[in-house]
Structure 1
Amino acid sequence: MTTRILPAVGDADAARSVITLLSQLPEAEPAAPVGDSTQLVDTLARLAGESVEELPEVVLVHERIGPVPALELIREVSLRFPAVGVVLITSDASPGLFAAAMDAGARGLSTLPLSYEELAHRVQAAAQWSTGMRRHLGTGGDALAGPGGTVVTVTGAKGGVGTTLTAVQLALAAQASGHATALVDLDLQNGDVAAYLDVQFRRSVVDLATITDISPRVLSDAVFSHDTGLALLLAPGEGERGEEVSDRSARQIVTALRSRYEIVVVDCGSQMNGANATAIEMADTAVLVTTPDVVAVRGAKRIVRMWDRLQIRKAEETVTLVNRFSRTTEIQPPLIQRITGTRLAGTAVPANFKELQGAVDSGRMHELDARSTVKQALWAVAGELGLVKAAPRAAQRGGALRGDRGAIGGRRRRGGTPGGGG
């Protein structure tokens, strides 16, 4: 992603120094510097008049810009052009100036004399904020920060209830409907997303765990582009390395993904840890998968209560999906809803493992026949959750067994064997 940068530097020598450094930044496109505050505002106004997308992602304001003082100029630019990230260049690194610059609307502060590392970091952070803001304002762009897209987590009441199958099919449905979609495997010890989609890729979520600023290039290096169009961020091949993914790094990873992709589906497995607990807390929608048997339903109730105790998520903010549903089972969806206190997906997934056997054994879950009642049901659930632009035809042709209908809706952020396996 190219970052367009407009320097506002009145001093000719300082301008040359800034341009020299900017020209060394990867994927940076510095414009000719403007010499005063009036020229800066006029230039931005002209570009905004054509389109918000014509605005530079980053504006650098030198402390000696005039005639308007730097902080006043930053405030004006931030108010008039909120999709632009502003960085102040100054020799004063005091906490007081830093606070004043942030209050004025700056996205960062780079101290004189300029260093490549600091300037690169500030520019990258401001650019990420800018592209995220443009997504939030509905102007498109390939964003990597800010509110971003919808995050859906999928958690199993216990192992083997179909967690990974659900996550994979929800992501495939979203991608097929035209959404840019990422599928993340946060089942850190036992993740099987790669096996379900016939993927061999050496990079994983662990490669992002120690990075404090996840740039577009770093993220793209860790993500596998699947033939279906899905972006896959996989679990580590060595399960013990999952411990390297902390709750803090999980928050950064989910934030980066949600602001680059319209839909982010996270397979959280059935074992709770700090990383997937963070993802569940951040999610717009948390799906809890259970089968209609005593052990699984007891597990679902236990998880819901734990989430509530740890203030991760309330029961009423959780959507329970019943997998392997049959009208002959003693435990029916309305009872599961009463036991767990959660909302219930309007579509229950039928018990029909024979449809899945070939796709599971070959690791080609993305080639599951559209006539599969399991696929139809899961794609219908994707429609209920708002993950598809229009309900996929596969989910409209019938064949999905219906459980008790519950209102399904996401919430915004506050801050194994499928069909038989997870």
Structure 2
Amino acid sequence: MIRALLATPDAALTANARAILEEVGDIEVAAVASHASAVTSVLGDDDRDLDVVVLHEDLGPLPVLDLARDLNHRFPEVGVVLLARDPALDLLRSAMSAGVRSVVRLPLTLAELQLAIVEANEWAQTVQGRLAAVTTQDKGARLRGRVIAVAGSKGGVGTTMVATQLALHFQRQDDQQRVALLDLDLQTGDVRAHLDLTHRRSVTDLVEVASELTTGHLDDAMFAHDSGLRVLLPPVDGEDAEDLDAATSARILGGIRSRYDVVVIDVGAVLTDASATALELADEVVVVCTPDVVSLRGVNRLTALWERLQVRDGGVRALLNRADRAREIQPSLAARVVGVPMLETVLPDDVPGIEHATNTGVPDRVAGRLRDAVAALAEELAAARTGPAEEAEPSSEQELTRRVAAAEAGSISAEFAGLILPVGIVLLVVWQAILAGFTTVLANGAAAEAARARTVDASANVQQVAEDYLFGYWGRHVTAASTADEIRVRIPVPMLVPGPSSPWRVQSSAGVVREPTVSRLGAPVDGPGGAPA
């Protein structure tokens, strides 16, 4: 039984091809794909056992011949068949150069499609026989040819540092493999500064030759670093980035992918045509964030944007940079905030080491814990083998709402953790103000009550009257004093709870009423409490 993968952008054409192949008893459609990333993802799945891949000429976003060349490089044991409307001589020559085993004219017919698949399968069986003796460890070389896109949740989180150090690690890991670092943060990219490059060529130099890209063109445009790393830089003048549209970006990235074992792309924090194409083609997307609420919420905002624009749905993980035990937000809390899986590897906060390496333009000066963490990150990415799911359906509105709600709930938890101290201080201040106000009301009442007692009885004990009027803490700490015309009451304000006293005192006063009296001769005579003079 020949197991085939149908890769067409048209659902109707896929259904027609399935119906045609059902008439053939020895060909099975084992999987389908609607875009280039899904093809590589399905072939990279060890559980799949595929013999032939059928590619439609309109399959995107990667140009189909570049995809065929990439498949021939990464999966030589799989035969490739191309579906084309007009298989002219130039197309046949280019297809042969890309490793296509057979070309079928559209619209499909049973005889032509069956013959093409059988011929491609014969090639696949021959190659598979040669590879049968390869050890499991050697088969791990399939991990090569991967495209890793590194994005930032916002500016300043260390995206360029992570991309640069990751690419350098892959190059140091194996001198024989070809590693490329692409800076597609076209207007604010800093790879040039991190590596101290004076190279004037950039990605815009490939725009004119994108449709017929060759190895010579790439060698001229890409800088050869001393480490062996090849670097493609953004334009020196940011406005030149407008020349790089989605179609051109797809051709350039496809050509690079088919010629290098590992491609690391710095896409920055802003979505452009070039970065969107890189995100679509990448096998793995890493979003760099720092342990603060703004950056973590930026991960959710960015991934939600990708999903709404159907740029990327799946195969995205977050990387926590500048982690430290002294930070308020730890990796466990950050994993609850972001709406995508979090990488187990975290990068430590090593500002002095990064500054020294960046200021001198010598990235190898990054050492110690940070270099070890980058090595662990590379191993985790290599072991994951995660990419866009085959025929991944766009997430429903309900699922997107659920994920956003979960992310927002985690954001609220992080915000609450950061606001506990200031909110607690505000509540204590408000409570202390309430106690001060309540003590003032009691002092006013005690002064008025003592003044009434003195008015009625000139010999009344105002201290005792004030204590009897008050209660609890306030009754025990009141101090009352009197003059001929006034009663003054002082009470210390409690400190948070009725018990300990604060340094603040509340004072209130009330006047004593002196009623006039009349003598035997009819003249008014004043006396305390109305007593005769």
Q: Which runs of 5+ in 2 are unaligned?
A: 1-75, 102-119, 132-142, 392-533
Structure 1 position 229, deviation (Å): 0.7
Give 1:294 deviation, angstroms.
Answer: 1.4
1:168 aligns with 2:164: yes
Q: Does 1:343 pair with 2:319?
A: no
The 1:84/1:168 distance shift into structure 2, 3 A limit, reads same
Query: Is contact 1:149–1:262 with CA below 8 Å preserved after alignment?
Result: yes
CA distance in 2, matches of 1:153, 1:414: 19
Q: 1:374 aligns with which of 370, 375, 381?
A: 370
Q: Is the contact between residue 81 and residue 100 of structure 2 (CA under 8 Å) also seen in structure 1?
A: no
Q: Give the letter aligned to residue 410 of structure 1.
A: T
Note the alpha carbon deviations across 1:160-198, whole angstroms, 9 max, x for none. Answer: 100000001111111111131110000000111121112
SS in 2 for 1:201: coil
CA-CA distance at 1:237 after TM superposition? 0.7
Cα deviation digits, residues 202-250 of structure 1 (max 9, x gap): 1111112242221222222211111111111111111111111111111
Separation in 2 of the partners of 1:267 and 1:384? Answer: 19
Structure 1 gap segments, 5+ residues each: 1-80, 88-96, 103-107, 111-118, 141-146, 388-407, 416-422
Does the Cα contact within 8 Å between 1:174 and 1:263 map onto a contact in 2?
yes
1:411 aligns with 387
Match of 1:182 among 180, 183, 186: 180
What is the letter of the counterpart of residue 173 of structure 1?
Answer: H
State yes or no: 1:216 paired with 2:192.
no
Deviations 1:105-139 (A, max 9, x none): xxx522xxxxxxxx5x86455313469x999x799
CA change 1:98–1:198 in 2 (3 A) is closer
SS at match of 1:322: strand
Question: In structure 2, do the counterparts of structure 1 residues 337 and 220 end up closer, same or farther at CA, with 3 Å as the change threshold?
Answer: same
Give the corresponding residue for 1:257.
Answer: 256
List aligned pairs for 1:185-204, cutoff 5 A: 185-204=183-202
Offset at 1:265?
0.3
The separation in 1 between residues aligned to 2:385 and 2:172, in whole angstroms, is 21
User: What CA distance in whole angstroms lies between the structure 1 residues aligned with 2:219 and 2:207?
Assistant: 14
User: Which residue in the other structure is 1:281 paired with?
Assistant: 280
Q: What amino acid is the match of 2:183?
A: D
Larger relative contact order (Cα-Cα within 8 Å, sequence gap ≥ 6): 1
Q: How many residues align?
A: 279
CA RMSD after TM alignment: 3.2
Q: Using the alignment, how far apart are the partners of 1:164 and 1:353 within structure 2?
A: 14
Normalising by the residue count of structure 2, what TM-score does the alignment of the two structures yield? 0.48
CA 1:148 to 1:362, structure 2 compared with 1: closer, same or farther past 3 Å? closer
1:127 paired with 2:124, answer no
Q: Could you say which residue in structure 2 is the equivalent of 1:392?
A: none
- How far did 1:328 drift? 2.4
From the two aligned structures, give the one with the greater strand fraction: 2
Percent of aligned pairs with the same amino acid: 38
For 1:233, the equivalent position in structure 2 comes to: 232
Could you say which residue in structure 1 is the equivalent of 2:528?
A: none
Choose from 354, 357, 380 the match for 1:356.
354
Residue 159 of structure 1: aligned partner: 155
Quick one: structure 1 residues 86 and 213, their matched pair in 2 at CA, closer, same or farther if it must change by over 3 Å?
Answer: farther
Superposition misfits of 4+ residues, deviation over 6 angstroms: 81-87, 137-140
**Distance in structure 2 (CA, Å) of the matches to 1:206 and 1:286:** 24
Aligned partner of 2:330 among 325, 328, 332: 332
CA–CA separation in structure 2 for the residues paired with 1:238 and 1:225: 21
TM-score, scaled to structure 1? 0.60
Kindly indicate whether the alpha-carbon contact (under 8 Å) linking 1:284 and 1:413 is maintained by their aligned counterparts in 2. Answer: no
Would you say 1:290 and 2:289 are equivalent positions? Answer: yes
> 195, 199, 205: which is aligned to 1:207?
205
What is the CA–CA distance in structure 2 between the aligned matches of 1:152 and 1:86, rounded to whole Å?
A: 27
The answer to whether the 8 Å contact 1:167/1:265 transfers is yes
Contact 1:282/1:413, CA 8 A, preserved across alignment: no
For residues 362-415 of structure 1, the C-alpha deviation after alignment (integer angstroms, 9 at most, x for no partner) is: 1111x2254x2112111210111018xxxxxxxxxxxxxxxxxxxx44215869
Q: Which has more radius of gyration?
A: 2
Q: Residue 328 of structure 1 aligns to a residue in which SS? A: coil
Aligned partners of 1:269, 1:414: CA distance in 2, in Å?
27
C-alpha distance in structure 2 between counterparts of 1:302 and 1:412, whole Å: 20
Change (3 A) 1:409 1:124: closer
Are the structure 2 counterparts of residues 369 and 156 from structure 1 closer, same or farther at C-alpha, using a change threshold of 3 Å? closer
